[in-house]
C-alpha cells in the first residue's frame, strides 16, 4: 500500500504541474477575450477552467487557481454592462468557486488531486479486495461468492477473505460484516480486509478470531465492531470447523437427506470485549454436500426476524439447486435480502 501511494504521489505531482500551466494559459486567454470582445463572450465560460481545475489540480494548487479564475471573472464584469441578470450570474459563479474551494480543503487530507486521488483509492480497493478472491481448489471442490452493496455502490461493509494452505490441505474462508452499510462502512471494511487477510494466512484457525478481535479493540473506533464467521476445511477429509463472532449461522446441505441444517456456533461480536472465546462447531462436508456463509443483509429486514429469514434462505437455496451450482450465489443473493442493505454470500460445495 505504501509503494502504491508513493507511485501515485509522484505521478500526481507531475500531472498537476502540467495541468496548472495549461489551465493558467486557458484562463489568461479567457481574460484576453473578455478584454477584446466583452459583448461576445459570456461570463459563464469561466466554468470550464473551474471544473477542469477541480478535477486535475491538487489541494495546494487549486485554492490559488480558483482565486485567479474569480479575479478574471471580476475583471470581465468591469467590461460589461451590469444588469440584474449579470449580477445573478456572477453570484452563482462565485458560489461555484466557493464550493470548489471547500472540496479542495476536504481533499487536502488525501493530499492528491481529484482524478488521481480517486484512481488511487479505487486501485487500493481492488488490490485489497483481491484477498477475498477464491483460490483454485482441487477438482472435487467448488466455491463461488457474490457481494452486493447497499444502493449498488462499489463500497460495502461486507467482505470476504480467503486463504489456502496447500501443504496442510486446509482452506480457510471468512465472511465479515462491518458495522454500518454502503459507503459509510466501506472505508473500515477496506482496512479490516487487509488486516484480516494477513491474520488468516499467518495464524492457526483457532487463533484467527481472537486476533481479529484484539486488532479491532486497538483501533478505538466509535463504531469499531464487526461480526464474522470463519470456516476451516480439510480438503482431504471434508472435515470442517466453524467459528462465529456474533454472525448469522452457517447452513449446510446434507445431500443424503436433501435437508439443510443450521450450524449454531457461539461467540461474541468482534471489537467489544477482550479475552473472549469462540466455540467451534465441527462437521463433515461429504460428496454432494454444500455450505453457505452469508451476512445478515441476506436474512434480516426491519420487519422480519432473522430466524424467519434463515428459514426463507433454506427454502430458496433448495429451489435454486435445480439450476445447478454454477452461478448459484448470484441467483440466490438476487432473490433474497434488500437492495438497501449490504449482502454477501459464499458457497463451498464438494462435488
Which whole-number Å values give the CA distances from 99 to 15, 30, 62, 105, in the listed order?
Answer: 23, 22, 12, 10
* pLDDT score of 154: 64
Q: What is the mean pLDDT of residues 309-323?
A: 92
Based on the fold, state whether residues 174 and 313 are members of the same structural domain.
Answer: yes
Residue 6 pLDDT greater than 80, yes or no: no
Please tell me the least confidently modeled range out of 151-160, 204-213, 300-309, 334-343: 151-160
* pLDDT score of 249: 96
* 328 Cβ contact list (under 8 Å, min separation 6): 144, 320, 321, 347
Residue 106 lies in a domain: yes
Based on the fold, state whether residues 297 and 185 are members of the same structural domain.
Answer: yes
More confident site: 137 or 339 = 137
Please report which confidence band the pLDDT of residue 129 belongs to, taking 50, 70 and 90 as the band edges. low
More confident site: 326 or 154 = 326
Q: What is the mean pLDDT of residues 204-208?
A: 96
* pLDDT score of 132: 67
CATH number at residue 236: 3.60.40.10
Residue 53 lies in a domain: yes
Q: What is the span of the domain harbouring residue 44?
A: 2-120
Query: Among all chains, which residue has been given the C-alpha cell 430466524?
Result: 307
Based on the fold, state whether residues 137 and 110 are members of the same structural domain.
Answer: no
CB 145 within 8 A of CB 160: yes
Q: What is the 3-state secondary structure (H, E, C) of 87-99?
A: HHHHHHHHHHHHH
Residue 128 lies in a domain: no
User: H-type helices in the chain, by residue range?
Assistant: 2-36, 47-56, 62-78, 84-107, 114-129, 182-202, 205-219, 306-320, 328-335
Residue 281 pLDDT greater than 90, yes or no: yes
Residue 96 pLDDT greater than 70, yes or no: yes
Domain final residue, candidates 87, 120, 153 = 120
Q: What is the mean pLDDT of residues 219-241?
A: 92
Please report which confidence band the pLDDT of residue 140 belongs to, taking 50, 70 and 90 as the band edges. very high
Residue 80 pLDDT greater than 80, yes or no: no
For the CA atoms of the chain, what is the radius of gyration? Answer: 27
* 26-65 burial: b if 16+ Cβ within 10 Å, else e: ebeebbeebeeebeebebeebbebbebbbebbbbebbbeb
Based on the fold, state whether residues 239 and 310 are members of the same structural domain.
Answer: yes
Domain final residue, candidates 52, 86, 120 = 120
Based on the fold, state whether residues 93 and 213 are members of the same structural domain.
Answer: no
Joined grid coordinates for residue 98: 466557493
Query: What is the distance between the alpha carbons of residues 11 and 190, in angstroms, rounded to a whole number?
Result: 23
Residue 199 lies in a domain: yes
Q: What is the mean pLDDT of residues 174-190?
A: 78
Residue 227 pLDDT greater than 50, yes or no: yes
How high does pLDDT run on average in the chain? Answer: 85
Domain count, the chain: 2
Q: What is the mean pLDDT of residues 256-260?
A: 90
Domain final residue, candidates 71, 94, 120 = 120
Q: What is the mean pLDDT of residues 124-145?
A: 82
Secondary structure of residue 155 in the 3-state scheme: coil
Based on the fold, state whether residues 228 and 316 are members of the same structural domain.
Answer: yes
* pLDDT score of 287: 96
Query: What is the distance between the alpha carbons of residues 270 and 218, in angstroms, rounded to a whole number?
Result: 11
CB 272 within 8 A of CB 236: no
More confident site: 261 or 64 = 261
* pLDDT score of 278: 95
User: Residues of the chain with pLDDT > 90: what percent?
Assistant: 42
CB 18 within 8 A of CB 58: no
Residue 127 lies in a domain: no
Based on the fold, state whether residues 56 and 161 are members of the same structural domain.
Answer: no
Q: Which of 129, 245, 121, 126 is nearest to 192 (CA)?
A: 129
Cα-to-chain-centroid distance, residue 191:
10
Based on the fold, state whether residues 275 and 305 are members of the same structural domain.
Answer: yes
* Selection from 216-225, 239-248, 338-347 with the highest mean pLDDT: 239-248
Based on the fold, state whether residues 64 and 198 are members of the same structural domain.
Answer: no
Q: What is the largest CA-CA distance in the chain?
A: 87
* pLDDT score of 109: 59
pTM of the model: 0.74
* pLDDT score of 5: 46
Please report which confidence band the pLDDT of residue 121 belongs to, taking 50, 70 and 90 as the band edges. low
Based on the fold, state whether residues 9 and 97 are members of the same structural domain.
Answer: yes
Joined grid coordinates for residue 203: 495464524
Please report which confidence band the pLDDT of residue 8 belongs to, taking 50, 70 and 90 as the band edges. very low
Based on the fold, state whether residues 104 and 150 are members of the same structural domain.
Answer: no
Based on the fold, state whether residues 20 and 169 are members of the same structural domain.
Answer: no
Query: What is the distance between the alpha carbons of residues 236 and 164, in angstroms, rounded to a whole number?
Result: 13
Joined grid coordinates for residue 281: 462447531
Joined grid coordinates for residue 118: 480517486
Q: Report the 10 Å Cβ neighbour count for 160.
A: 24
Amino acid at each position: 500500500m505504501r509503494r502504491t501511494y508513493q507511485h501515485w504521489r509522484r505521478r500526481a505531482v507531475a500531472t498537476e504541474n502540467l495541468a496548472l500551466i495549461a489551465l493558467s494559459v486557458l484562463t489568461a486567454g479567457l481574460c484576453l477575450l473578455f478584454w477584446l470582445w466583452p459583448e461576445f463572450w459570456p461570463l459563464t465560460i469561466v466554468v470550464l477552467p473551474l471544473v477542469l481545475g477541480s478535477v486535475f489540480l491538487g489541494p495546494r494548487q487549486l485554492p490559488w487557481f480558483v482565486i485567479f479564475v474569480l479575479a478574471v471573472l471580476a475583471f470581465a464584469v468591469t467590461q460589461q454592462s451590469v444588469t440584474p441578470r449579470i449580477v445573478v450570474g456572477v453570484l452563482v459563479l462565485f458560489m461555484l468557486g466557493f464550493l470548489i474551494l471547500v472540496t479542495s480543503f476536504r481533499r487536502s487530507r488525501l493530499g492528491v488531486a481529484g482524478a488521481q486521488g480517486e484512481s488511487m483509492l479505487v486501485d487500493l480497493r481492488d488490490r485489497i479486495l483481491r484477498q477475498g478472491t477464491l483460490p483454485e481448489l482441487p477438482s472435487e471442490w467448488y466455491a463461488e461468492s457474490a457481494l452486493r452493496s447497499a444502493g449498488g455502490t462499489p463500497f460495502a461493509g461486507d467482505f470476504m477473505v480467503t486463504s489456502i494452505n496447500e501443504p496442510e490441505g486446509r482452506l480457510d474462508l471468512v465472511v465479515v460484516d462491518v458495522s454500518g452499510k454502503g459507503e459509510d462502512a466501506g472505508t473500515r471494511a477496506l482496512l479490516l480486509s487487509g488486516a484480516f487477510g494477513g491474520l488468516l494466512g499467518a495464524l492457526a484457525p483457532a487463533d484467527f478470531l481472537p486476533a481479529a478481535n484484539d486488532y479491532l479493540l486497538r483501533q478505538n473506533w466509535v463504531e469499531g465492531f464487526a461480526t464474522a464467521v470463519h470456516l476451516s476445511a480439510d480438503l482431504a477429509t471434508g472435515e470442517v470447523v466453524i467459528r462465529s463472532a456474533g454472525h448469522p449461522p452457517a447452513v449446510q446441505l446434507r445431500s443424503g437427506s436433501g435437508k439443510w441444517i443450521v450450524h449454531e456456533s457461539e461467540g461474541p461480536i468482534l471489537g467489544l470485549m477482550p479475552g473472549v472465546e469462540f466455540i467451534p462447531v465441527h462437521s463433515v462436508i461429504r460428496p454432494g454436500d454444500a455450505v453457505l456463509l452469508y451476512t445478515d443483509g441476506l436474512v434480516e429486514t426491519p420487519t422480519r426476524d432473522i430466524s424467519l429469514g434463515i428459514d426463507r434462505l433454506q427454502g430458496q437455496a433448495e429451489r435454486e439447486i435445480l439450476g445447478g451450482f454454477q452461478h448459484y450465489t448470484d441467483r440466490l443473493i438476487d432473490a433474497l435480502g434488500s437492495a438497501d442493505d449490504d449482502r454477501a454470500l459464499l458457497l463451498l460445495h464438494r462435488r
